[in-house]
Chains A and B, each alone.
Chain A
Amino acid sequence: MKPLRYTLRCALAGALLGGIAVPAFAHEPVLKCVLLDADTVRCRGGYAEGEAAPGGTIEVIAYSGQTVFSGKLDKGSILTFQRPATGYYVLFNEGPGSQAIVEHDEIGPPRANDRARWMRSRR
């Protein structure tokens, strides 16, 4: 009876630990862009849980498919670029299947309740 009991106990512990090891949600990239003025766009990247994303790759792609600008987020996870003349979208690419996309028609001047400094100061 002893060895059997020992095996069962190990199996129970294994089942508990195995069950706990299921994946939780990975941290999703998020991106927010505003118009600083009529010709300048500023974007800030990060992760849903609040982490910063310095060094993250940002691409600005015209609707024609051509990449008009690409750069990396600075220490404050911010990137500022010239507003393209045609339709475009901003792609914060983390790797395959991990990205945040903002289309140009979402990008406007900061709203009244957007008080964060990065959206307002020209630095």
Chain B
Amino acid sequence: MIGAHLAILSLNLLGFAGLAIGTERYAPQLVGFKPAKPERKASWIMGWLLLALALALATQRMETAVVGIVVWLGWLSLTGVSLVFLMPELPWQKAARSAPRRAPRGKAASNDNAPVRKPRRWIGLSLLAATAVVSIASLLRTETMPLSREDTIEGTVGPWSFTLAEIDRDPPEVMHLDVPLKAYRIRFCETCDLEILRAYLKVNKPRALRASGMAFGGNSWDRDVEIQLPANLTAESELWLTVVGKDGSVHRASWPMSEVSPATVRWFEQQEKTR
């Protein structure tokens, strides 16, 4: 996950640099000389392509495409601001910086050079540090994608292979009417996916095909579902997957809840004790 963030950051940085080199005004500031027009245009196109690549990477690698876009925009802002502060610090800019920007205007100008008051500077610095701490903490807290975790279940149902996992490893979410719900994600192998009409999930063995539970939904390879959990769930309760193929065949597989959702089982045991 951190690798993906670093990749997005560096692609954004390179993309912005490409855009800057593409302009007549900023190219000399960034690389120290003015490239020829076709080179600038090439660099400008390259910059946009790199930004697009970073966006594509973000939408693919983050939890969902929307999270990817937000992450991309976030890194885009950070990159932009850091370039603003980085460009004047480049070694070939030093000469330009040492020259006074304006001719001194006598006594009235001395006011501008008064040092910034200390408390204000400390407030600024601590705000900056707090921002850094918060962003690092939230970066460390990001969960890996459910199907890339080590607790996923891999198996086959009928002729089709799949990977199944709960979307988060937390206890169930208690919703309307105090009903606990849990979300799961499944991904079938690419050729299997095309042969599958629908997949359903429920706790306890389905007593009829039309009572097989909630259907997985979603229009990419990953299909998600959120199911109601029975009030008397125990570690021995079973999670049942029903898969219906486009040829009409029905296949089922099941696991004990303690294997798929250990935190949920613990939560139910706790509920039973406090009852």
Q: Which residue numbers of A lie inside 8 Å of B, CB to CB?
A: 1, 4, 8, 11-12, 15-16, 19-20, 22-23, 25-26, 28-32, 44, 46-51, 61, 63, 65, 89, 91, 93, 96-103, 105-106, 111-114
Q: Are B177 and A32 in contact (CB under 8 A)?
A: yes
Find chain A residues with CB under 8 A from B65 CB: 19-20, 22
Given contacts A25-B224, A99-B213, contact A44 B177 (CB under 8 A): yes
Given contacts A19-B69, A20-B66, A48-B175, contact A28 B226 (CB under 8 A): yes
Given contacts A22-B64, A28-B226, contact A101 B59 (CB under 8 A): no
**Chain A contact surface mostly:** mixed
Tell yes or no: B128 within 8 A of A by CB.
no
Name the one of A20, A63, A97 contacting B198, with C-beta atoms under 8 angstroms: A97
B48 CB to closest chain A CB (Å) equals 5
What is the size category of the interface that chain B forms with chain A?
35 or more
The residues in B between 191 and 213 inclusive whose CB is less than 8 angstroms from any CB of A are 198, 200, 202, 204, 207-208, 210-211, 213
The residues in B between 172 and 187 inclusive whose CB is less than 8 angstroms from any CB of A are 175-179, 181, 183
Query: How far is it, in angstroms, between the C-alpha of A30 and the C-alpha of B52 when the chains are bound?
Result: 42
Selected A-B contacts with CB under 8 Å, 25 pairs: A19-B66, A22-B219, A22-B220, A30-B177, A30-B181, A31-B179, A31-B228, A32-B177, A44-B177, A48-B176, A48-B226, A49-B176, A61-B207, A89-B207, A89-B211, A91-B211, A93-B210, A96-B215, A97-B198, A97-B214, A97-B217, A98-B215, A101-B213, A106-B231, A106-B232
Find chain B residues with CB under 8 A from A46 CB: 176-177
A17 CB to closest chain B CB (Å) equals 10
Q: Are B230 and A106 in contact (CB under 8 A)?
A: yes
Q: Which residue of A has the minimal Cβ distance to B218? A: A23
Q: Are B69 and A30 in contact (CB under 8 A)?
A: no
Find chain A residues with CB under 8 A from B232 CB: 105-106
B238 CB to closest chain A CB (Å) equals 13
Find chain B residues with CB under 8 A from A22 CB: 64-66, 219-220
Name the one of A16, A32, A114 contacting B69, with C-beta atoms under 8 angstroms: A16
Q: Are B230 and A25 in contact (CB under 8 A)?
A: no
Find chain A residues with CB under 8 A from B181 CB: 28, 30, 48
A80 CB to closest chain B CB (Å) equals 16
Given contacts A25-B226, A63-B207, A106-B232, contact A32 B179 (CB under 8 A): yes
Name the one of A28, A50, A61 contacting B228, with C-beta atoms under 8 angstroms: A28
